[in-house]
Amino acid sequence: MNKAICIPAAALVASLLLTGCARGTDATVERAGVVAEAGSVSSAPASPSATASETASGRQPVQLPGLGPRTRAKIPATAEQVVLVSGRGRNSPDSTVTLYTRTASGWQAGGHWPAHNALDGWTDHHMVGDLHSPIGVYTLTDAGGLLDNPGTRMPYDHSGDFTVVGTGFEGEPLAGSFDFVIAIDYNRVPGASPLDGARPLGSSRGGGIWIHVDHGGPTHGCVGLAESAMKTLLVSLDPARHPVVVMGDAASLAE
């Protein structure tokens, strides 16, 4: 997420365990995440294409737009909220984020926002430091930030260890980027603070992949949203509805 980040001394030891978007003096700072093979939901039951009542009435439910059969099959049947991150191109740092909620008639769109992803775009085999965001379907279980809980029902870790300073790839200030974060369950243990450094697939596969406040430029692997959008997303996501993020470049998601 950044070229250079100065980390408070109290957070330095923890930051050395992290391998996500933000890096300090070439030590990683963005903390949390789990990979497609280990923390994704690709092995979960596929999302049903229609409810019994819709099938009986002959109506077709509204599907998530832009997703091909392989991507749709990775969305678990229990998921009633989807954060869809659609990248502009395989090598692009620009994307859009849309929140969808499952209703009786299919998926209904909520908020829709511009976003940033990793500097070099997307990959289906993320490795530490590769400057790509991981393609896949991942659960969203935990949040946190430097600022107080804005009203989310997700477990929220309010901690000074989310402090970050320095500049990003385009010289933009990083301060405030971690005011609000949602941990993407890529190579992390769901149910832990976004700051947790455990990496089930090993440190070489990266981690610390978050949705966080956009600092105005590309990230190391995370997804950056405007602060107002982050607040809306945090308040909207409901653990009882088993939210997931579906993320990747548009072409990959269409497969």
Range among 5-14, 30-39, 56-65 rated most confident: 56-65
What pLDDT does 45 receive? 41
12 against 149, higher pLDDT? 149
What pLDDT does 178 receive? 98
Q: What is the pLDDT of residues 85-126, one digit of tens each?
A: 999 999 999 999 999 999 999 999 999 999 999 999 999 999
Half-sphere exposure of 60 (CA within 13 A, CB side): 3
122 close to 95: Cβ distance less than 8 angstroms = no
What pLDDT does 61 receive? 74
CA–CA distance, 26 with 16 (Å, rounded to integer): 10
What pLDDT does 40 receive? 56
What pLDDT does 54 receive? 44
Confidence of residue 56 (pLDDT cuts 50, 70, 90): very low
1 against 210, higher pLDDT? 210
How many Å is the Cα radius of gyration of the chain?
Answer: 17
- What is the rounded average pLDDT of the residues 182-193? 98
Who contacts 19 (Cβ-Cβ below 8 Å, separation ≥6)? 28, 30, 128, 129, 199, 203, 206, 207, 208
What pLDDT does 3 receive? 34
For the chain, domain boundaries: 4-45+64-253
Query: pTM surpassing 0.75?
Result: yes
Q: What is the pLDDT of residues 170-180, one digit of tens each?
A: 999 999 999 99
What pLDDT does 1 receive? 43
